[in-house]
Amino acid sequence: MSLSRRDFLKVSGVTGGALVAASRLLRLETLTAAGAESLQVEEKYIPTTCWIGKQDCGMLARVVNGRVVKLEGHPANPRNNGTLCPKGVGQIMSFYDPNRVKTPLIRTNAKGVPGEWRKASWDEALSLVAKKMNAAREKGGSKFVWQKGRSKAKKFYDKAFVAASGAFKLHHGAFCSDAGYRALEYTLGLHAVLHPDFKYTRYLLCWGWNVTNAGGNKFCWLTWPQKLVEAKERGMKMVAIDPRQRSAAHFADEWVPIKPGTDLALALALCNQLIANDTIDREYLTKYTNAPFLVGPDGLFLRAEPEGEEEAGAPLVWDTVSGAAVPYTAEGIQPALEGEYTVGGQRVKTAFELFKAHVAEYTPEMAAEVCGIEAAQIERMAREIGENAMIGSTITLDGHTMPYRPVGIMAYHMAQQELGFQAVRAMVMVMMLIGSIGAVGGQFSDFTWKEYKNWAKFEHLKVQDETNLYLKDSKFFPINSNNSSVVAHVINNLSEYGLDDEVVPDVVILHHVNPLGSFPDRNENFEAYKKIGFVAAIDPWISRTADYFADVILPAATIEKYEGPISASDFYTDAETLRIPPMDPLFDSKGDIDIYIDLCEAAGILYGEDGYIAQINKQLKLEGEYALPLDQKPEVRDIFDRYARSKGLEGGIEFFEKNGVNIKGPASVSKVYPYAMEEPFAGILPHRFYGESLLVAQNDMKAAGADEIYWRDYTPFPTWRELTAAQSPAEYDLNLISYHMIEFKQSRTPVPLLIEMAPKVFVEINPATARAKGIADGDEVWVESHNAITGETRKIKAVARYREGIRPDTVAMPHHYGEYVKHPWVKGQGPSPNELFFTGEGYVAQTADQTYLVRVKVTKA
């Protein structure tokens, strides 16, 4: 005690020494307080993974006396390297949120209005859902619908349920970036959007609003900025192409404030300039794409005589060696990339020659006009892309000598626009021209070069009369991203799509998905849900959809459950992890897998050869000794124990419970780079530079009597046209776009710690625009949207905020406000832009993907 007092006097830097000396006697109280540290504290760290967001970062839960007190980043997880984003660290509050659904709930009032509920036992709730579900299953088709938001792990138990129950599955991707996925699947055969080879890229085009705000393709937010910062430190130049500057902030060396939805024109102008500057990689185009294919006057490839009756013959190229048209697969040929040739008496051009003619009109001046930017900026970008591409250069990694084209694109949610599919295709074509696809430092998308099932499917697009609830393979959307708002639109207008009541679902299970909250257009969804007989929601909170329409809510656990397996790869290091419960499920909630096991048991589809257990074995490839017995209700921990053992991990599940993450080591060069693969590009060739099957589909759609609005964008090359939204009357003078804030992106949870930082929705508006309309910073405004097709208008009230970093002709609103209506922190957050957007014709892409652009007028409220 006396020692500590001396130190105290020394340390505290006393100013009134004399008085302190007089106060010695009174020091006691502080020392007594300080002495009270003898309480026993049991403390441990349990590895687990994040449950908010997309990439499931590794976490360590600090648990004191059985209570989780903090979530920290798992230092060994390559995705986050010991760090977390605000959602990751803030979600601790969602564990214990007393506003969670604590027990199964059964609705006691009418649907279509905020719900009233009574508590029910799991048995009662599950048997009710099972009964309804089984009745709908018997009718087949889309009578029993299952929909989930993003799966927070490998989707094995979802797929197993769909397979076991025969559910009609709806997706969420058409609200995310699926238009881009479809473009990549179509063009390169990969299931992803666009990101660069961060380790080596020197010049990055950041296209859209995800850069510093909400992550990108494949990664959620955290890995992305880590790689970005590393690359910037290395000296990478970054150009941000977005109507808002906020998204890229100071990381952008240059900001291209493009007009929303005009990206396609900019990409084609870049192609125009790359060709004009002759900075194109002829070798890549000739060798790995269909650009040298000869195209007849009908727009179709010239083909060799078919060998069988079923098969079309191989497309022809002009061989400069033999001076003849030969199948592109022929040995020892040197195909001409450019030129016009006479084959079989008709003049034909190479696809590339057609492309040159196609982009000739996309001059920098033309694109500048369309995109609302400077022509000089486009020219400079094209020049810098060409220079940085270092066409012809190679690099040797791990003994593999490969092309070195350190230019890439990052694009993600920007794909969701009216011309999304073709815009992303046009962007990929920029990268194809410089040969950056799969080159070191160049354009990547998925973790590895792996053929996605749509690659083959898109060779022959089905345009058939028989269709389903989401208009699959129809004359409306031959490429189809399964948009559940289109589903709602179809339910509300069955006859227009040649459908009848038969397709309207009787039963819908909503798992962690909130169509009324998260998806535009809210009205359309609301009307459709009125027609659905029975809705069960699996969610830890009462979502807007559940509140208005759920008959039963099954309380799901948040982090506190076993889930997985989860990839922990950061593209360069392979790793895998699991979600380990740091504590038992709170209240009367259950882990999602437990819920499905119980539900399947209640529905009688758990056991047996086609049962849920069998499907789990199949999905997780649990075979032989690792297979779950088909006649025994499994423990979820045991499922993962078997999985871990089947992967050769000593100790099974205990390996993950102890270490959290299984680091498999650096991804090999031959896995990452398609040029280093045994078969370049894993044999997914030739890349579809020319979209022949799109033209075929267009012809088929016309023949089937589809309106122009459906087929007009099915063109072999991306083609600019005026956007539907631009046809709204002139008084709707502003473009409304939306975005996610890092605080909320994919949070699916109302976390007060995060809501406190961004409590209310707002409308970003350029001060010059606002002042002209007499709107001051912080004023309440009406935002009224207009549907250029139907003439419908909608309006909401929100607060206007001045931003110099937004185009004067554009306003922007963030999402994720007001979704979990029953939560005290969600009340009063204000409206969602989803109330202003429209779905249906003109407001979905040719792939049925949702757009987030509408014309609005903003007036002072």
Q: Which residues contact 612 (CB under 8 A, 6 or more apart)?
A: 160, 161, 164, 596, 597, 600, 605, 606
Min dist. Cβ of residue 41 to other proteins (A): 5
Min dist. Cβ of residue 97 to other proteins (A): 6
Task: Specify the pairing of strand 324-327 against strand 563-567.
Answer: unpaired
Site for other proteins contains 246 (CB under 8 A): yes
Q: Which of 144, 156, 209, 255 binds other proteins (CB under 8 A)?
A: 255
Q: Which of 30, 322, 464, 727 binds other proteins (CB under 8 A)?
A: 30
Q: Which residues contact 670 (CB under 8 A, 6 or more apart)?
A: 398, 400, 676, 677, 678
Min dist. Cβ of residue 385 to other proteins (A): 21
Min dist. Cβ of residue 830 to other proteins (A): 15
* Residue 1 burial by Cβ neighbours in a 10 Å radius (0-12, 13-18, 19+): exposed
Residue 447 or 762 with smaller CB distance to other proteins: 762
Q: Which residues contact 548 (CB under 8 A, 6 or more apart)?
A: 111, 112, 113, 114, 115, 516, 526, 529
Token duo for residue 39: 């309480």
Q: Which of 131, 169, 232, 400 binds other proteins (CB under 8 A)?
A: 232
Q: Which of 366, 758, 789, 861 binds other proteins (CB under 8 A)?
A: 758
- Return the residue matching tokens 């008085």: 19
Task: Specify the pairing of strand 294-295 against strand 534-539.
Answer: unpaired
Min dist. Cβ of residue 212 to other proteins (A): 4
Residue 231 or 605 with smaller CB distance to other proteins: 231
Site for other proteins contains 36 (CB under 8 A): yes
- Return the residue matching tokens 């087929």: 711
Residue 708 or 804 with smaller CB distance to other proteins: 804
**Distance of alpha carbon 180 from alpha carbon 850, whole angstroms:** 12
Q: Which of 120, 300, 494, 753 binds other proteins (CB under 8 A)?
A: 753
Q: Which of residues 686-745 bind other proteins (CB under 8 A)?
A: 741-743
Residue 232 or 282 with smaller CB distance to other proteins: 232
Of 33-41, 151-159, 183-191, 565-573, the window that binds other proteins (rule: CB under 8 A) is 33-41
Site for other proteins contains 225 (CB under 8 A): yes
Min dist. Cβ of residue 739 to other proteins (A): 12
Residue 300 or 758 with smaller CB distance to other proteins: 758
Q: Which residues contact 165 (CB under 8 A, 6 or more apart)?
A: 133, 137, 144, 146, 600, 603, 605
Of 176-184, 358-366, 387-395, 746-754, the window that binds other proteins (rule: CB under 8 A) is 746-754
Residue 729 or 828 with smaller CB distance to other proteins: 828
Q: Which of 21, 28, 34, 776 binds other proteins (CB under 8 A)?
A: 34
Of 26-34, 108-116, 347-355, 393-401, the window that binds other proteins (rule: CB under 8 A) is 26-34
**Distance of alpha carbon 546 from alpha carbon 508, whole angstroms:** 11
Q: Which of 245, 286, 480, 698 binds other proteins (CB under 8 A)?
A: 245
| Crossing angle of helices 178-187 and 420-433, rounded to 10° | 50
| Crossing angle of helices 263-276 and 420-433, rounded to 10° | 20
Residue in 387, 380, 425 with CA at minimum distance from that of residue 405: 387
What SS3 class is residue 856?
strand
Site for other proteins contains 250 (CB under 8 A): yes
CB 238 within 8 A of CB 247: no
Min dist. Cβ of residue 823 to other proteins (A): 9
Site for other proteins contains 780 (CB under 8 A): no
Min dist. Cβ of residue 7 to other proteins (A): 4
Q: Which of 112, 629, 683, 759 binds other proteins (CB under 8 A)?
A: 759
Of 35-43, 166-174, 336-344, 849-857, the window that binds other proteins (rule: CB under 8 A) is 35-43
Site for other proteins contains 2 (CB under 8 A): no
Min dist. Cβ of residue 514 to other proteins (A): 21
Min dist. Cβ of residue 54 to other proteins (A): 14
What SS3 class is residue 123?
helix
Min dist. Cβ of residue 388 to other proteins (A): 21
Residue 404 or 744 with smaller CB distance to other proteins: 744
Residue 230 or 496 with smaller CB distance to other proteins: 230
Token duo for residue 556: 């799901």
Site for other proteins contains 323 (CB under 8 A): no
Site for other proteins contains 439 (CB under 8 A): no
Q: Which of residues 796-835 bind other proteins (CB under 8 A)?
A: 801-808, 824-825
Residue 102 or 303 with smaller CB distance to other proteins: 102
Min dist. Cβ of residue 542 to other proteins (A): 15
Site for other proteins contains 786 (CB under 8 A): no
Min dist. Cβ of residue 40 to other proteins (A): 10
Q: Which of residues 528-587 bind other proteins (CB under 8 A)?
A: 586-587
Contact flags string 155-194 toward other proteins, x per CB under 8 A: ----------------------------------------
Min dist. Cβ of residue 786 to other proteins (A): 25
Min dist. Cβ of residue 231 to other proteins (A): 12
Site for other proteins contains 212 (CB under 8 A): yes
Q: Which of 104, 208, 257, 591 binds other proteins (CB under 8 A)?
A: 257
Min dist. Cβ of residue 65 to other proteins (A): 8
Taking the alpha carbons of 420, 426, 429, 431 in that order, is the dihedral positive or negative?
A: negative
| φ, ψ of residue 370 in degrees (nearest 5) | -65, -45
Residue 84 or 351 with smaller CB distance to other proteins: 84
What SS3 class is residue 734?
strand
CB 335 within 8 A of CB 320: yes
CB 506 within 8 A of CB 534: yes
**Distance of alpha carbon 714 from alpha carbon 478, whole angstroms:** 9
Min dist. Cβ of residue 187 to other proteins (A): 31
Q: Cite the beta strand spans of 337-459 per DSSP E.
A: 340-343, 346-350, 394-397, 400-403, 407-411, 443-444
Q: Which of residues 58-117 bind other proteins (CB under 8 A)?
A: 64-73, 80, 82-86, 88-90, 92-93, 95-99, 102
Taking the alpha carbons of 635, 637, 640, 641 in that order, is the dihedral positive or negative?
A: negative
Residue 11 or 730 with smaller CB distance to other proteins: 11
Burial 294-328 (b: 16+ CB within 10 A, else e): bbbeebbbbbbeeeeeeeeebbbbbbeeeeebbbb
**Distance of alpha carbon 293 from alpha carbon 857, whole angstroms:** 48
HSE at residue 312, side-chain half, CA atoms within 13 A, is 10
Token duo for residue 160: 């197993």
Task: Specify the pairing of strand 853-860 against strand 734-739.
Answer: antiparallel
Size of interface with other proteins, in residues (CB under 8 A): 92
**Distance of alpha carbon 765 from alpha carbon 856, whole angstroms:** 12
| φ, ψ of residue 37 in degrees (nearest 5) | -120, 20
Residue 390 or 586 with smaller CB distance to other proteins: 586
Residue 499 or 806 with smaller CB distance to other proteins: 806
Q: Cite the beta strand spans of 108-153 per DSSP E.
A: 117-119, 144-148
- Return the residue matching tokens 């997309």: 54
Q: Cite the beta strand spans of 713-846 per DSSP E.
A: 734-739, 762-765, 780-786, 793-802, 810-814
Residue 226 or 492 with smaller CB distance to other proteins: 226
Site for other proteins contains 234 (CB under 8 A): no
Residue 572 or 587 with smaller CB distance to other proteins: 587
